[in-house]
Chains A and B, each alone.
Chain A
Amino acid sequence: MDSLIQLFYDEANEMVEGMEQVLLALESGEPDPETVNALFRYAHSFKGNSAAMGFTHLSRFTHGLESAMEVLRKEQRPLTPELANLLLQAVDLIRVLLERTRTEGDVGDPACDTLLQQIQAALSGSSVSAPPTEASEAPSASPTPTAQQVDACTTPTTTADIPRYRVLYQPAPTLNAEHDPLQLLTELQEYGQILEARFREQIPPVAQLKPDACYGSWEILYETAFEPAIVRALLELSAEGAEVQIEPIATIAATVPANAKTEPTEPVAAAPVSTTTTPETPSATAVASVSPAATVKSSESQSIRVSTEKIDALMNLVSEIVIAQSMLTNAQSGNTDERLRAAITQMERHVRELHERVMAIRLLPVSYLFNRFPRMVRDTATKLGKKVNLEMEGEETELDRTLLEALSDPLTHLIRNAIDHGIEPPDERVRQGKPEVGTIKLSAYQSEGRIYIEISDDGKGIDTERVRQKAIQLGWIGENDYPPDETLYEFIFQPGFSTAQQVSDLSGRGVGMDVVKRNVESLGGSISVYSKRGEGTRFVLRVPLTLAIMDGLGLVVANEHYIVPLTAVVEAFQYDSLQHTALFDQYEMVNVRGEFIPLLRLRQFVGLPDGERNGLIVVLEQEGQRLALQIDSIAGQQQVVLKSLEENFVRVPGFAGATILGDGRVALILDVSDLIRRTYSANERLAAVA
Chain B
Amino acid sequence: MHTTLKTTAKKHKLTLSGEIGYPESLELWETIQHIAQDPKDTTVDWSNLSRLHFSGVQMLFALRRSLEEHHHRLQFSEPNPALYQQLHTFGVWDALIES
Name A residues whose Cβ lies closer than 8 Å to a Cβ of B. Answer: 138-139, 171, 175-177, 180-183, 185-186, 189, 194, 196-199, 201, 203-209, 211-212, 214-216, 218, 261, 273-276, 278-279, 281, 283-284
Indicate if the CB atoms of A205 and B22 lie closer than 8 Å.
no
Closest residue of chain B to A181 (Cβ to Cβ) is B54
Residues of chain B with a CB closer than 8 A to A283's CB: 88-89, 91, 93-94
Give the distance to chain A from B91, nearest Cβ to Cβ, in Å. Answer: 4
Residues of chain B with a CB closer than 8 A to A275's CB: 81
Residues of chain B with a CB closer than 8 A to A186's CB: 86
Given contacts A203-B62, A203-B65, A207-B66, contact A197 B90 (CB under 8 A): yes
Given contacts A203-B62, A283-B94, contact A214 B54 (CB under 8 A): yes
Indicate if the CB atoms of B95 and A199 lie closer than 8 Å.
yes
Residues of chain B with a CB closer than 8 A to A181's CB: 54
**Cα distance A661–B62 in the bound complex, in angstroms:** 64
Residues of chain B with a CB closer than 8 A to A214's CB: 54, 58
Query: 17 additional contacts, CB 8 Å, given A182-B86, A278-B88, A283-B91?
Result: A138-B85, A138-B86, A171-B54, A175-B22, A180-B21, A180-B53, A182-B92, A203-B65, A206-B32, A206-B33, A206-B62, A206-B63, A211-B26, A273-B86, A274-B81, A276-B81, A279-B88
Q: Is B44 an interface residue (CB 8 A)?
A: no
Give the distance to chain B from A140, nearest Cβ to Cβ, in Å. Answer: 8
Give the distance to chain A from B51, nearest Cβ to Cβ, in Å. Answer: 4
User: Which of A182, A185, A203, A278 contacts B53, CB < 8 Å?
Assistant: A182
Indicate if the CB atoms of A211 and B29 lie closer than 8 Å.
yes
Indicate if the CB atoms of B90 and A177 lie closer than 8 Å.
no
Indicate if the CB atoms of A205 and B91 lie closer than 8 Å.
no
Q: Is B76 an interface residue (CB 8 A)?
A: no
Give the contacts of B23-80 with A (CB-CB under 8 A). 23, 25-26, 29, 32-33, 36, 50-55, 57-59, 61-63, 65-66, 69
Residues of chain B with a CB closer than 8 A to A189's CB: 89
Indicate if the CB atoms of A205 and B59 lie closer than 8 Å.
no
Indicate if the CB atoms of A182 and B54 lie closer than 8 Å.
yes
**Cα distance A279–B93 in the bound complex, in angstroms:** 13
**Cα distance A681–B22 in the bound complex, in angstroms:** 70
**Cα distance A198–B82 in the bound complex, in angstroms:** 19
Given contacts A139-B51, A177-B22, contact A205 B58 (CB under 8 A): no
Indicate if the CB atoms of B89 and A281 lie closer than 8 Å.
yes
Residues of chain A with a CB closer than 8 A to B26's CB: 211
Indicate if the CB atoms of B88 and A205 lie closer than 8 Å.
no
Cross-chain pairs A/B with CB under 8 angstroms, 15 sampled: A138-B82, A177-B21, A182-B57, A198-B91, A199-B92, A203-B58, A204-B65, A206-B32, A261-B94, A274-B81, A278-B85, A281-B89, A283-B91, A283-B93, A284-B91
Closest residue of chain B to A219 (Cβ to Cβ) is B91
Given contacts A205-B69, A209-B62, A284-B95, contact A175 B88 (CB under 8 A): no
Residues of chain A with a CB closer than 8 A to B66's CB: 205-207
Residues of chain A with a CB closer than 8 A to B95's CB: 199, 201, 284
**Cα distance A186–B87 in the bound complex, in angstroms:** 10
Indicate if the CB atoms of B54 and A180 lie closer than 8 Å.
yes
**Cα distance A203–B65 in the bound complex, in angstroms:** 9
**Cα distance A288–B19 in the bound complex, in angstroms:** 37
Closest residue of chain B to A208 (Cβ to Cβ) is B62
Indicate if the CB atoms of A211 and B51 lie closer than 8 Å.
no
User: Which of B51, B86, B91, B93 contacts A218, CB < 8 Å?
Assistant: B91
**Cα distance A645–B96 in the bound complex, in angstroms:** 67
